[in-house]
Structure 1
Amino acid sequence: MKRTSSKTYLAIAFGILFVLILFFGVRFLLKNYLLNIYYPTNQQVVAVFNVNGESKVLPPGSIICYNAVFKNTALWSDKSAFETALSNHDVLITVETWLKGSDYKRNVLNEVANGRFDKQISELGAVIAKSKKKVFIRWAPDMEVPTDVYPWQFKLPKDYIEAFNYFSKRIKQLAPKVQIVWGPSGYPGDTEYWPGNQMVDYASITLGSSSEKSVNYYPLAGSIPEMLKSKLHRLRFIDRPVLIMSDEEGLKTNFKPIWLTDQQSYHHKYINTVYSKNVYADSAKIKPERTALKIGVYDPNKKLFNRPRITVEHLFTDWGEVERGDFERNFLQVIDRHHEVIVTMEPWRDNSGITDTIVLENILKGRYDKQIKKLFDIISSTKTIVYLRWMHEMEIPIHRYAWQSQDPVSYINAFRYFMQFDGGPGINVKKVWGPAGDRGSVDFWPGDDVVDYISIAIYGLPDKNITDPEKQEAFSTIFNRKYYRMRFLDKPLFITEFGVKGSEAFQNKWLANAAKTINTNPHIFGICYFNLYDNPKAWGNIKAPDWSITPKSMIKFCSLLNE
């Protein structure tokens, strides 16, 4: 056997030593120096929109865009080029926080708020504090888009807000002059993640967002002006200038000043209504609290309406029923039972039976003025309180109703036209704005002066494909999610539709949870159970859910409710 020489052993030993030195050296370098990766991005700030000040298009390169990636597995980082850019240019830094390896499944927002990235924040703060130029920091953008392109996306809004404010406070302490940018894409539901004015200097939106392109829940706008219009509209509760960003080459050099001018003109046109300063809100508004709870039912088969504590009945109607007199007959029957009335007016079918596909436009043109007047005359002819709910569930991105998935400003104008028509309905009528409570609800908020109550719908079945009743969401889960979306608004809440399917035992369990939630939320002024199956046409080939409960279950539910 050939013997291994001493030189070979020595070479092996030096090789092992070199590997160990390299390993621990790189590890030390990663841990102590290469905490962050810095690199220039293709994104660009193309314009600034300021509804209360100057809006302007920015020449290419006015603000250099960099990414700072908090992921301490970097083998390379062009930190010197980054520091040079900070010395010579205004810079916008988009900060990304990532977890590595097995930690990837953890909630990165909680990790930020718990101090996991403090060293990375400190490094970034020390670098940007030296700059004499303007520095913008945009942390964890596109957070509202329901996708997983980034690990912080589509998490609980409260988790995002806590992490955002934690990061922003620390970076401000290190670099007080930095401009903090809250960076939603501009997707429906973005304001759920609004962290408040205290830490935010600018908002931003992204035209042609890659995150948005990865999902198809909402249709993409057909043109840049349409996209700009919808995204800026969604920020109307935010009193901050908006940086308009894009990574599409065509927009970087061809963003047209007329697009910005048109948006300024559009906002000014509705400055006293849709874009009034009254809609600006920094945080959740204080909600009024009830003195007594209204309990109602939608009960066409008349199985629950005469039970103890039921004082409200729900009627759905349309133009045709008002014209024929069917609505008046049904309405007066409820009045004769000495019950208050929820009237959900669905303005989509008249006596012709043909659905009006451009109903918002026709309302504003006065096509239905006679029907509106007749409806107002009927519901205002009594001293009984009537809750008038008009064009409900407008925000759901479907076309079940002709007023759904429409331009929010057109909807708002039609809502206001109706509620203010000929001076509005009588003093006994309470005006109800009734979104389902889904993403983007507040995009359709018509204004304090035409709303007395907000209504939402709560049904246990979150998905048409769920057939197991046990998989239905709890009332409290749905309520907390939907009610949080109303935090900019200060009106009392009336849950005008709620229901659950399943065995009587399961329904009772679900309703017990509902009662507990209602008792602990005094801003809920009224509730109304939907005691029927849903409209089969809305469910296609799937059997429509039956929300009906027994009188015994209704009595038990009412017994759990506080007076």
Structure 2
Amino acid sequence: MKVKVIWGAAVLLFLGLLVFFVTRFTSLLKPRTDTINLLDTAFQERLEGYFNRRDTSLTPPRLQYLSVRLYTGTSEKQLAAVFKGLNPREGLLLTLLTEEEGTLKNMIEGSFDNALTELCRALPSGIPVYLRWNPDMEVPVKRFPWQYQAPADYIAAFRHMATRCRKERPSLKIIWSPAGYPGTEEYWPGGDVVDVVSISMNGQSERESTAYPPEPDRRGALRRKILRTRFMDKPVFLLTPSADSTYNWRKDLAAVARQLRTDSALIFQSTARNKAASRTAGTLPVLGVYDPNLGLTGSEAVKTEHLFIDLGTIQSGKFAREFEAVVRRGHQAIVTVEPWRDSKIRKDSSVLQNTEDGVYDEEFREFFRIVAAARQPVYVRFAHEMEIPIHRYSWQSKDPVLYIKAFRHFMQLGKDVKQVRKIWGPAGDRGSMEWYPGDDVVDFVSIAIYGLPDKNITDPAKQESLETIFNRKAWRMKLAAKPIFITEFGVKGPDDFQATWMENAARVIARHPEVVGACYFNLADNPGVWGNMPAPDWAISRQTFDRFVQVLREN
């Protein structure tokens, strides 16, 4: 009997606590939809200027600003209260934030559809409305749940949002709003769902990021941000923090606009935007090796050999000898031309400017003369890995427009050599397309794939797979719409680890017909660039390479 009484009391106590919890805390579990919580202060920015490659005006439309949080349960009534009091004679730039966890997935799945409908109904009529959703998506920080997300997910969510809002409010102007950080183009949702691009200066997300060094001055930063929108043929709004209201951004914008228009034919080239050409079904990609020790060149599968040359090797005749040796072995050549290590007294620090100015034309003409003697295609890659913000090479960490001019000058010198296949060779890092020199001087895009995601990693098992790296880098190249030639790839570690990695790599390459060539780097890396750490040795055995070829053929 006593046990029953105690049990009954426990049940009553539990029920009492449950009722208390429900009445006291349920409101905290519901989406916050009250008017106060809809207003946001994270994006206190104003429209300072306007850039359009198709006109010379810098004066933006006169707008008022509002930043609002949207929840799945937000109603038209609540939003109407927020919009009450707006000036009926000025347009509205509305920054819309969906801050709930999983916001991209929820948007794609339609969880916000009703709230978007309510929003469009609540928007003031009779004035132009510009809608800006979840800005600064490309900045690699985690201030907001839409940052540090897969570009494909952000794009799908953005397109869903824009399509839904345009259906409800056809007059709405949709703004795509990156900060203008390196990697901006990875998140481009497409011109059919974007009316205006905006970039922001000195935003909080960008101030928190340490992934890339900042530009030395505001004008330089503004120019680079606009450059990163070069493939988006849309007007660009310049947004600045309200705290910067005393700074004359319009003056900087005018100066930058003059610079960009001077080089507009190079910068604002249209790209094919079509699916890249691919190899014929059932055929292998062109297989090659960088193999100075000739450990793999005897394989019947090897069709190309990779040569790295510089000004000095052209001047000394070493390139001619090495190239002729490759031809005698019955192979094609991939030649990476590094415009430095000049044996003449000329500054290596100015190699891109020297290239554009024709300082090295004698050496480059000799290079193309040697190449023209070959009867087979020669893949020519100039000044590779230019986008990495380091100083390993003299052409890195330089102005993209200067690089473009230098690349085009070099390739124009060989335009009549029919054997040349022109390769543009970024590493495939963030922001690569800022350096894209143009469809007319590029036949193939190359990327480099090495297993180490970080040079400080010494454990081979922590290397990334070729598939992981390829997917990331190929996505960054999609605006170029060119076939991909993997001109360098490698993996370090014990033989069994290398063998497994290479087998998986073969399966991935086989699945991607846009990969028309792959060249293995069969040597240790340059020890001079690894500091106190031993340089990774990418060399593999002939057995591992033969198995790679076998798996490639089987798939």
Please confirm whether the aligned pair reaches a TM-score higher than 0.5, indicating the same fold. yes
What is the aligned partner in structure 2 of residue 7 from structure 1? none
8 Å CA contact retained: 1:437, 1:456: yes
Change (3 A) 1:188 1:39: closer
* 2:389 paired residue number: 397
What one-letter code is carried by the residue in structure 2 that aligns with 1:125?
Answer: C
The separation in 2 between residues aligned to 1:56 and 1:394, in whole angstroms, is: 32
Distance 1:94 1:32, change over 3 A: closer
d(CA) in 1 for partners of 2:217, 2:345:
35
Residue 104 of structure 2 aligns with which residue? 109
- Determine which of 207, 219, 222 is the counterpart of 1:213: 207
SS at match of 2:264: coil
Question: Residue 520 of structure 1: which of 498, 503, 511 is its match?
Answer: 511
Match of 1:375 among 367, 375, 384: 367
Q: Does 1:474 align with 2:465?
A: yes
Aligned to 1:445: 436
Instruction: Please tell me whether the aligned partners of residues 31 and 71 of structure 2 are also in contact (alpha carbons under 8 angstroms).
Output: no
Alpha carbons of structure 1 residues 256 and 313: separation in structure 2 relative to 1, 3 Å: same
Contact preservation (8 Å) 1:97, 1:108: yes
Aligned-residue identity in percent: 41
SS at match of 2:481: coil
Among 255, 260, 263, the alignment partner of 1:262 is 255
Q: Which amino acid aligns with 2:171?
A: K
**CA deviation after TM superposition for structure 1 residue 148, in Å:** 0.7
Tell me by how many angstroms 1:30 deviates. 5.8
Aligned-partner SS, 1:350: coil
Aligned counterparts of 1:35 and 1:175: Cα–Cα separation in 2: 25
Q: Find 2:278's aligned residue among 286, 289, 292.
A: 289
State the Cα distance separating 1:545 from its structure 2 match: 0.8
Is residue 39–residue 78 contact of structure 1 (8 Å, CA) maintained in 2? no
TM-score, normalised to structure 2, is: 0.89
31-40 vs 157-166, which deviates more? 31-40
Give the 3 Å change call, closer, same or farther, for CA 72–322 of structure 1 in structure 2: same
Shift of 1:155: 1.0
Q: Given that residues 317 and 344 in structure 1 are in contact (C-alpha distance below 8 angstroms), is that contact kept between their aligned partners in structure 2?
A: yes
Q: Matches of residues 34-45 of structure 1 in structure 2 within 5 Å?
A: 34=35, 37-39=38-40, 42-45=44-47
Matched, 1:362 2:393: no
CA contact (8 A) 1:318 1:346 kept: yes
1:26, distance to aligned residue in structure 2 (A): 5.6
Q: Secondary structure at the match of 1:57?
A: coil
Distance change (3 Å), C-alpha of 1:365 and 1:296: same
- 1:469·1:502 contact (CA, 8 Å) conserved in 2? yes
| Structure 1 unaligned blocks of 5 or more | 1-15
Q: Does structure 2 retain, via aligned residues, the 8 Å contact 1:180–1:201?
A: yes
2:5 aligned residue: none
Q: Structure 1 length normalisation: TM-score?
A: 0.88
Whole-angstrom CA distance in 1 between matches of 2:286 and 2:372: 20
- Per the TM alignment, residue 122 of structure 1 is displaced from its structure 2 partner at its CA by 3.2
Structure 2 partner of 1:98:
99
Instruction: Quickly say closer, same or farther: Cα 1:558–1:485, change in 2 above 3 A.
Output: same
Q: Per the alignment, in what secondary structure is the counterpart of residue 348 of structure 2?
A: coil
Matched position secondary structure for 2:265: coil
TM-aligned CA distance change 1:27 to 1:320, over 3 Å: closer
Give 1:451 shift.
1.2
In the alignment, what sits opposite 2:187? 193
Partner of 1:51: 53
Alignment of 1:417 with 2:417, yes or no, is no
The match for 1:465 is 456
Counterpart for residue 65 of structure 1: 65
Worse-superposed segment, 302-311 or 357-366: 357-366
Distance 1:25 1:510, change over 3 A: closer
Q: CA deviation at 1:357?
A: 0.9
Distance 2:67 2:56 in 1: 28
Letter in 2 for 1:94: T
CA distance in 2, matches of 1:203, 1:503: 49
Asked if the contact 2:384/2:427 (under 8 Å) is kept, the reply is yes
Distance 1:271 1:298 in 2: 38
The structural deviation recorded for 1:556 is 0.6
CA contact (8 A) 1:39 1:82 kept: no
Matching of residues 169-248 of structure 1 within 5 Å:
169-248=163-242
Please tell me whether the aligned partners of residues 148 and 154 of structure 1 are also in contact (alpha carbons under 8 angstroms).
yes
Q: 1:485: how far off?
A: 1.0
Matching of residue 484 in structure 1 with residue 475 in structure 2: yes
Alpha-carbon offset, residue 368 of structure 1: 1.0
Q: Equivalents in 1 of 2:497, 2:240: separation in Å?
A: 50
Alignment of 1:489-504 (within 5 A): 489-504=480-495
Q: Offset of 1:389 from its aligned partner? A: 0.7
Distance 1:355 1:260, change over 3 A: closer
| Deviations 1:172-224 (CA, angstroms, capped at 9, x unpaired) | 22222211100000011111100011211111000112211111222222223
Deviation at 1:306, TM superposition (A): 0.7
The answer to whether the Cα contact below 8 Å between 1:35 and 1:120 also exists between their aligned partners in 2 is no
Residues 547 and 53 of structure 1: CA distance in aligned 2, closer, same or farther (over 3 Å): same
- Kept in 2, the 8 Å contact 1:69–1:95? The answer is yes
Post-superposition offset of 1:161: 0.4
What is the distance in 1 between the residues matched to 2:339 and 2:229?
A: 29
Is 1:307 aligned with 2:299?
Answer: yes
Match of 1:11 in 2: none
Which residue number in structure 2 is paired with residue 121 of structure 1? Answer: 116
The corresponding residue for 1:8 is: none
Helix, strand or coil at the partner of 2:499: helix
Which 5+ residue runs of structure 2 have no aligned equivalent? 1-16
Call closer, same or farther: CA 1:308–1:158 in 2, change over 3 Å: same
Greater alpha carbon shift after TM alignment, 482-491 vs 333-342: 482-491
Which letter does structure 1 place at the counterpart of 2:292? P
- Residues 83 and 127 in structure 1, CA contact (< 8 A), matched pair in contact too: no
Aligned length: 530
1:147 aligns with 2:141: yes
RMSD: 2.7
- Between stretches 384-393 and 87-96, larger displacement belongs to 87-96
Report the residue type matching 1:110 in the other structure. Answer: K
CA contact (8 A) 2:72 2:114 kept: no
Q: Deviations over 1:133-174 (max 9, x none)?
A: 111111111101111121111211100001111111222222
CA distance in 2, matches of 1:39, 1:465: 41
* CA offset digits 1:421-444 (Å, max 9, x no partner): 2x5361111111100111111111
- CA positional deviation for 1:314: 0.4
Shift in alpha-carbon separation, 1:24–1:357, aligned structure 2, 3 A: closer
Match of 2:500 in 1: 509
Question: Does structure 1 residue 158 correspond to structure 2 residue 152?
Answer: yes
How far apart in 2 are the matches of 1:523 and 1:174? Answer: 39
TM-aligned CA deviation for residue 22 of structure 1:
8.0
For 2:483 and 2:492, locate their aligned partners in 1 and report how far apart those are by CA, in whole Å.
Answer: 27
- TM-superposed CA distance for 1:123, in Å, is 3.1
2-structure distance, mates of 1:497, 1:340: 16
| Counterpart for residue 273 of structure 1 | 266
Aligned match of 2:10: none
- Deviates further, 154-163 or 88-97: 88-97
Q: 1:493 to 1:348 in 2, by over 3 A?
A: same
SS in 2 for 1:321: helix
TM-aligned CA deviation for residue 337 of structure 1: 0.6
Q: Distance in 2 between matches of 1:526 and 1:78?
A: 55
CA drift of 1:70 comes to 2.9
Shift in alpha-carbon separation, 1:384–1:45, aligned structure 2, 3 A = same
Which residue of the partner structure matches residue 86 of structure 2?
Answer: 85
Change (3 A) 1:28 1:471: closer
